[in-house]
Amino acid sequence: MQEIIDQFGGYLYQLGYGNKTRQCLCAQAGALLAYSQVTDVTEITQGQIKDFYEWLYECPGKRRGSSGLSESTIAHYVYALQLFFTWLEQTEQIQYNPISGIKFKQHHKNRREPLIREQVEALFAAAGSLQELATLHLFYSCGLRRSEAASLDTRDIHFKQQLLYVREGKGGKRRVIPLTARVAHDLENYYSNHRCQIKPLRVSDEPAFMLGSRGMRMSGSSYQTMFKKIIARCADASLPAGTTLHHLRHSIATDLVQGGMSMLYVKDFLGHSSLDTTQVYARARTAQLKSL
């Protein structure tokens, strides 16, 4: 059955999904096949899919002593299976799509409120180094995702042209982000006076725009650890509990919408595939106006 999963991975590549996303979707589709212990995809029934779905709520979690996956993770499994069976149907490997008639529980995402302007300003004021300031710019001023910041190379930022290139965003999408003069200056200042002083630990780390203290490319978790240190200095800012780097991306998007920016421009700025996703920020704007 590995061969069919590999073919599914090739299909996802043609659709433009990034490497990590393809690996995740293939693994999740493969998990159903392993659970069902089938040797032919035509043997998979609705009952087996339903059993697998219920099992996801009970299977051992990643954290010690936990059981069942989170609703968000289970929603990802459902998405992977829907893609998988749609592909099988389109390529005529199955005559009937067994997942098409199944109704799954609706996943309710945790609402992430954007930070207000004073809170964002407090974070920037609390930045204790050029690297921390550059990190805030990447996630707020540029609206990057953690994976995008981790993949950022020095060649991706053109200081004079004031442009930042995301070579492979979510779903394999590429985009160009314009930088203000201040953001370009602060990023160049970090690069010239901090990044260039650090020796990369490995050859593979040399292209990275952001390096940690050991000379290794900054990972998404490393960025979050640094962000927590900045938050710790903002006790008076009344930041929401559980504030993460993604709050910064949500906040800049909301600020752009509130500033009158076209929703289509905000969609391209964030790298969204659908305008429906960007509409979340329009709703956030309306909710905030009603509270005034």
Name the catalytic one among 146, 249, 267, 285. 249
Q: Is 57 a catalytic residue?
A: no
Contacts of residues 96-100 at CB distance under 8 Å and 24 or more positions apart, as own/partner, are 98/44, 98/45, 98/46, 98/49, 99/46, 99/49
Q: Is 194 a catalytic residue?
A: no
Which residue's structure tokens are 């903002």?
234
Q: Is 107 exposed, middle or buried (0-12, 13-18, 19+ CB in 10 A)?
A: middle
Nearest to 177 by CA among 147, 141, 153: 141
Query: In this structure, are strands 157-158 and 163-166 parallel, antiparallel, or unpaired?
Result: antiparallel
Name the catalytic one among 50, 167, 170, 173. 170
Q: Is 272 a catalytic residue?
A: yes
Q: Is 246 a catalytic residue?
A: yes
Name the catalytic one among 137, 195, 217, 272. 272
Q: Is 290 a catalytic residue?
A: no
- Which residues on adjacent β-strands are paired with residue 60? 67
Name the catalytic one among 22, 137, 145, 267. 145
Q: Is 170 a catalytic residue?
A: yes
Structure tokens at 251: 């906040």
Residue 229's CB: how many other CB atoms inside 10 A? Answer: 13
Residue numbers annotated as active site: 145, 170, 246, 249, 272, 281
